[in-house]
């Protein structure tokens, strides 16, 4: 089904056409007509599914009509868990609204200076994109008038709840008119998210595009057991040199480990940088800008910082540490294989992480193929799981240490074991 049949007006259709998208994604096909009909929506869809346009396009359509209430306050509010995601939504609003009569988009994010935000909130706002805590600060200071509010979007609602925003969200929503349209997007609609969704929506249409089990079919997933952090560094080094990596994200579980791994990779000659919550917003934006421009090849990030990163050239995701929560695994690997491409996710686990591996496999309903790099075998593997794949090739056709067929040969490609014995440049890990 082409975009034209979804009932978007010419100004918005033209902006979509300029982005190069010809066909709506499944979540867009399902959500756009219902949202245009001003229905409330509960949508379970993944990051990477095109969910931002699924709510932004119909919302812009609504905003192209004259407001029924006078005032300066926002007509649309989007709540997001992180600053990065908020900036991505802001960009989408600007991109898709560029041919409309002026749409004033303001983002209010934690970690940014108050005076600038105070000034922005004094003027008229059409779309307000905010993280819940900071928004609530401004509301309490009387800087936001929701009298004009027509559309409320909760983006990645499950994540906002994980991050402890439930009370903030409830306080924000209580201040909005009950006549609003509410669109809730979440990886899952079960449990607490489901309960919140029922409270906030009226007779919603439920759209479930893909579940944990069906998504990420375009991403090859493998797992290596590693004895310690040094062993993990050797494996990562091996992969980064051996495969046709365009860009990669390496996930660590702590900010400190992110810095350490980024430093270690930099000193091994990779263009690597860390991204985590201890960095101020300016530093984070600069780093992400450099990743987007291709100046940084390997981003080493913690979960929260990496949320909302949408860089289509990321070919590989490495889990240097496994995530503590199985759902985060799905979010992490979803940073590759964006916009219809394929991707590779390589996880490194200690033997003690075996239970976590099982949890992830249960959530995704897919076993993760255990691999061994010749010369970099672990001394121990989980006892009840002898390694049946030792010396096997990964299932997606490439061989560790060798460039994929047709890939340009890179310096250092195809030197697995020799390098593996070398000294890893990774001192401070524990």
- Among the listed residues 12, 15, 24, 197, the single contact to ligand AMP using CB under 6 A: 24
Residue 156: closest CA among 135, 133, 132? 132
User: Cα 273 to chain center, whole Å?
Assistant: 18
Tell me the closest approach of the beta carbon of residue 47 to ligand AMP, in angstroms: 5
Q: List all residues 6 or more positions away from 337 whose beta carbon is below 8 Å from its beta carbon.
A: 48, 216, 218, 219, 343
Considering only 8, 15, 51, 398, the residue that binds ligand AMP (CB under 6 A) is 51
Task: Provide the minimum distance between the beta carbon of 26 and ligand AMP in the complex, in angstroms, as a whole number.
Answer: 10
Least CB distance from residue 6 to ligand AMP, whole Å? Answer: 10
DSSP string, 236-295: HHHHHHHS--SEEEEE-SSHHHHHHHHHHHHHTT--EEEE-TTS-HHHHHHHHHHHHTTS
Residues 266-325 that bind ligand AMP (CB under 6 A): 310, 312
Which of these, 274, 303, 52, lies nearest to 159 by C-alpha position?
A: 303
Could you tell me the smallest distance in angstroms from the CB atom of residue 52 to ligand AMP? 3
Residue among 400, 425, 90, 14 nearest 220 (CA): 400
Nearer CB in complex with ligand AMP: 310/353: 310
DSSP 160: H
Question: Considering only residues 11, 14, 21, 163, which one is a binding residue for ligand AMP as defined by CB under 6 A?
Answer: 21
Tell me which H or E stretch contains 157: helix 157-162
Can residue 159 be called a binding residue for ligand AMP (CB under 6 A)? no
Interaction of residue 48 with ligand AMP, rule CB under 6 A: yes
With CA atoms as reference, report the closest residue to 256 among 279, 286, 280.
279
Contact status: 215 vs ligand AMP (CB under 6 A): no
- In this complex, which beta carbon is closest to ligand AMP, that of residue 62 or of residue 312? 312
Rule CB under 6 A: say whether 47 interacts with ligand AMP: yes
- Give me the least distance between CB of 50 and ligand AMP, in Å please: 3
Taking the alpha carbons at both ends of the chain, their separation in whole angstroms is 52
Closer CB to ligand AMP, 185 or 239, in the complex: 185
Does residue number 53 form part of the binding site for ligand AMP (CB under 6 A)? Answer: yes
Q: What residue ranges bind ligand AMP (CB under 6 A)?
A: 21, 24-25, 28, 47-53, 310, 312, 338-339
């Amino acid at each position: 089904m082409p975009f034209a049949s979804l009932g978007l007006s010419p100004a918005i259709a033209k902006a979509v056409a300029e982005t190069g998208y010809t066909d709506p994604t499944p979540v867009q096909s399902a959500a756009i007509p219902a949202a245009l009909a001003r229905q409330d929506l509960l949508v379970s869809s993944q990051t990477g599914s095109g969910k931002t346009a699924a709510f932004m396009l119909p919302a812009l359509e609504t905003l192209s009509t004259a407001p029924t209430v006078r005032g300066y306050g926002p007509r649309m509010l989007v709540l997001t868990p992180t600053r990065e995601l908020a900036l991505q939504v802001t960009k989408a609003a600007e991109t898709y609204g560029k041919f409309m009569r002026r749409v004033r988009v303001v983002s209010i994010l934690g970690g940014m200076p108050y005076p600038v935000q105070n000034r922005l909130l004094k003027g008229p706002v059409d779309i307000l994109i905010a993280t819940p805590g900071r928004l609530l600060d401004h509301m309490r200071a009387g800087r936001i008038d929701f009298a004009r509010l027509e559309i409320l979007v909760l983006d990645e609602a499950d994540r906002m709840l994980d991050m402890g925003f439930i009370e903030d969200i409830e306080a924000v929503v209580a201040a909005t008119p009950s006549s609003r349209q509410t669109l809730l997007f979440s990886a899952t609609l079960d449990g607490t998210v489901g309960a919140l969704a029922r409270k906030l929506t009226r007779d919603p249409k439920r759209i479930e595009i893909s579940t944990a089990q069906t998504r990420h079919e375009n991403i090859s997933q493998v797992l290596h057991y590693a004895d310690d952090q040094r062993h993990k560094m050797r494996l990562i080094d091996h992969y980064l040199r051996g495969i046709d990596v365009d860009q990669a994200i390496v996930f660590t579980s702590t900010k400190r480990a992110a810095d350490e791994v980024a430093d270690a990779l930099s000193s091994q000659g990779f263009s690597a940088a860390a991204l985590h919550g201890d960095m101020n917003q300016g530093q984070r934006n600069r780093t992400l800008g450099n990743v987007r421009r291709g100046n940084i090849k390997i981003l080493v990030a913690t979960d929260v910082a990496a949320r909302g990163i949408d860089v289509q050239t990321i070919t590989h995701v490495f889990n240097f540490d496994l995530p503590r929560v199985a759902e985060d695994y799905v979010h992490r690997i979803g940073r590759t294989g964006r916009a219809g491409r394929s991707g590779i996710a390589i996880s490194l686990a200690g033997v003690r992480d075996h239970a976590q591996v099982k949890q992830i496999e249960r959530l995704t309903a897919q076993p993760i193929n255990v691999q061994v790099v010749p010369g970099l075998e672990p001394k121990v593997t989980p006892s009840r799981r002898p390694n049946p794949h030792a010396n096997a090739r990964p299932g997606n056709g490439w061989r560790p240490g060798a460039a994929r067929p047709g890939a340009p040969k890179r310096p250092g490609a195809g030197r697995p074991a020799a390098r593996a014995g070398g000294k890893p440049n990774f001192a401070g890990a524990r």
